């Protein structure tokens, strides 16, 4: 394909399509023409309502005003995820977005904590994390000077509408219609145009596939292939339902493990998002529906709907002149709210590698390697939650506890359990704090810790920990409740 990219066509709307359109319009609007094709008749999956902190960086890149965005999407704040029944039945821990303790050059904070635990002077690990303690008491505030790490719960359908308005005001052209055929150049095999049911032909130099699980361009047209991860992540279905709010929204996502999967509860300003992710090998759709409906609060606003999926990734995220984003590129279940993040990183990565002229294999290969590395590290972190469990009370949990896992994850678990070493690899989303909170939360207690921490006298260590705890307590006293802050800051 020996020509400069001037016309980009996005196939499909939803969050993926409009995130891509917004980023291209903002960063490349004067260089390329962007057209998005979507049909109002084709629904979107639209259940991903929880996000992670890097979303705020993406919004800054686009110049999006936080209050305006939150009002438009009925958003609330999110400080982390509360995991219930994961390590054992009736246990609970929080994976928060905050930093635990204080940074140290040689040995991270959790080594000091393990030493203090051995000496009998340590409180719960979470006691030394501001965001985690704020989440427990449903408090929140932020400002330009605040150092709180947070994300959002949002209405994904309203978010897509918000970004559509943003994109169209910056020159993106939207075409309503169903795609009936994908046309390819007979010589190069590159996509040349999309034919709509109306007969309209939408031509482009480059195409972005946001058509969801079916992958109309990346798979049905280009036969890219799919790498299946269901042997590591056996859940293959979700049931979603929306309910009326019956309590003040908490600044936390709840993830509640059941016998054959887990349930999410996500509080927005105007309603609550609920769902059950499960494995159809161990639970029928009807049983899953009953499990979910027996564990929700408030009147149902929508009918429960079943969403089928298969965890994994395309063998190439970028193939020829087509880039797959969102569900068309792959799927890792929403246990750690990474779906929207992967879309945003996918389009940012494309913008950074945007070719000036010919699309060469070198730029495609680099994109695909980076995308593969990122999603595989996220995959390992998700598998960790299932595999590191003491639960053996159902066939599903027996399978998860005893299944073979990727060598990359087995190494990390062994390194932590034997030496308390946790790390954030280059380009990895999840930080040391995330790995330690989940591994400790699910019952891995390291056999040893770094010897350097024993150089601190026990009395000094006790004062050090008490100082962190006091600082957090003082900060929490000054915070309003999450609901009070929303009412003042971004209420609809």
DSSP code for 50: B
Neighbouring C-alpha atoms within 13 Å toward the C-beta of 352: 11
Distance from C-alpha of 317 to C-alpha of 315, rounded to nearest angstrom: 7
Of the candidates 214, 165, 192, which has an alpha carbon nearest to the alpha carbon of residue 22? 165
Q: Which residue has the tokens 């902190």?
A: 53
DSSP code per residue over 419-472? H------TT-SS-HHHHHHHHHHTT---S---GGGGGS-HHHHHHHHHHHHHHH
φ, ψ at 240 (rounded to 5°): -120, 145
**Whole-angstrom Cα distance, residue 125 to residue 114?**
9
Buried b (16+ CB within 10 A) or exposed e, 88-102: eeebebbbbbbbbbe
Which residues, including other chains, have CB under 8 Å from residue 489's CB and lie 6 or more apart?
A: 67, 70
CA end-to-end distance (rounded Å), the chain: 48
Contact status, residue 243 vs residue 298, Cβ threshold 8 Å: yes
Cβ atoms < 10 Å from Cβ of 307: 15
Residue 439 token pair? 């591994």
Tokens of 9: 């066509």
Of 349, 342, 341, 343, residue with least CA distance to 365: 349
CA distance 12 to 41: 12
Active-site option among 26, 60, 78, 139: 78
Tell me, rounded to whole angstroms, the distance of Cα 341 from its chain centroid.
Answer: 5
- Cα atoms in the 13 Å half-sphere on the side-chain side of 276: 26
What are the CA-CA distances from residue 51 to residues 193, 195, 339 (Å)?
34, 35, 8
Contacts of 286 (CB under 8 A, 6+ apart): none
Tell me whether residue 414 is one of the annotated catalytic residues. no
Active site residues: 78
């Amino acid at each position: 394909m020996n020509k400069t990219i001037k016309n980009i066509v996005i196939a499909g709307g939803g969050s993926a399509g409009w995130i891509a359109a917004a980023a291209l319009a903002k960063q490349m609007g004067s260089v390329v023409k962007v057209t998005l094709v979507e049909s109002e008749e084709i629904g979107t999956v639209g259940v991903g309502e929880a996000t992670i902190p890097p979303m705020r960086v993406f919004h800054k890149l686009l110049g999006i005003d936080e209050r305006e965005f939150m009002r438009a999407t009925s958003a609330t704040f999110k400080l982390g995820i509360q995991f219930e029944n994961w390590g054992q039945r009736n246990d609970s821990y929080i994976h928060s977005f905050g930093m635990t303790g204080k940074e140290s050059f040689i040995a991270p904070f959790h080594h000091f904590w393990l030493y203090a635990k051995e000496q009998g002077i340590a409180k719960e690990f979470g006691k030394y994390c501001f965001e985690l303690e704020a989440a427990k008491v449903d408090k929140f505030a932020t400002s330009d000077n605040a150092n709180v790490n947070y994300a959002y719960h949002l209405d994904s359908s309203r978010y897509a509408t918000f970004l559509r308005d943003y994109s169209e005001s910056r020159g993106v052209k939207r075409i309503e219609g169903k795609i009936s055929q994908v046309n390819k150049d007979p010589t190069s095999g590159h996509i040349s145009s999309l034919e709509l049911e109306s007969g309209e032909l939408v031509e482009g130099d480059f195409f972005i596939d946001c058509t969801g699980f079916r992958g109309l361009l990346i798979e049905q047209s280009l036969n890219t292939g799919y790498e299946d991860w269901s042997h590591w992540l056996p859940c293959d279905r979700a049931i979603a339902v929306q309910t009326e709010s019956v309590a003040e929204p908490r600044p936390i996502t709840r993830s509640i493990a059941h016998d054959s999967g887990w349930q999410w509860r996500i509080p927005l300003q105007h309603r609550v998002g609920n769902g059950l992710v499960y494995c159809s090998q161990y639970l029928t759709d009807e049983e899953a529906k009953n499990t979910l409906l027996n564990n929700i609060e408030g009147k149902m606003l929508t009918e429960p709907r079943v969403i089928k999926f298969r965890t994994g990734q395309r063998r190439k995220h970028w193939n020829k002149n087509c880039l797959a984003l969102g569900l068309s590129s792959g799927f890792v279940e929403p246990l750690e709210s990474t779906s929207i993040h992967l879309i945003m990183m996918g389009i940012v990565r494309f913008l950074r590698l945007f070719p000036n002229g010919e699309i060469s294999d070198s730029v495609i290969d680099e994109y695909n390697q980076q995308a593969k590395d990122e999603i595989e590290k996220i995959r390992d972190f998700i598998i960790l939650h299932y595999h590191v469990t003491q639960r053996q009370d159902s066939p599903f949990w027996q399978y998860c506890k005893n299944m073979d896992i990727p060598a990359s994850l087995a190494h990390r678990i062994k390194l932590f359990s034997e030496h308390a070493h946790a790390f954030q690899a280059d380009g990895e989303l999840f930080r040391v704090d995330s790995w330690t909170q989940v591994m400790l939360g699910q019952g891995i207690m390291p056999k040893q810790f770094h010897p350097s921490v024993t150089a601190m006298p026990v009395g000094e260590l006790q004062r050090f920990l008490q100082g962190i705890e006091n600082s957090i307590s003082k900060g929490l006293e000054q915070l309003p409740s999450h609901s009070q802050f929303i009412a003042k800051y971004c209420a609809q």
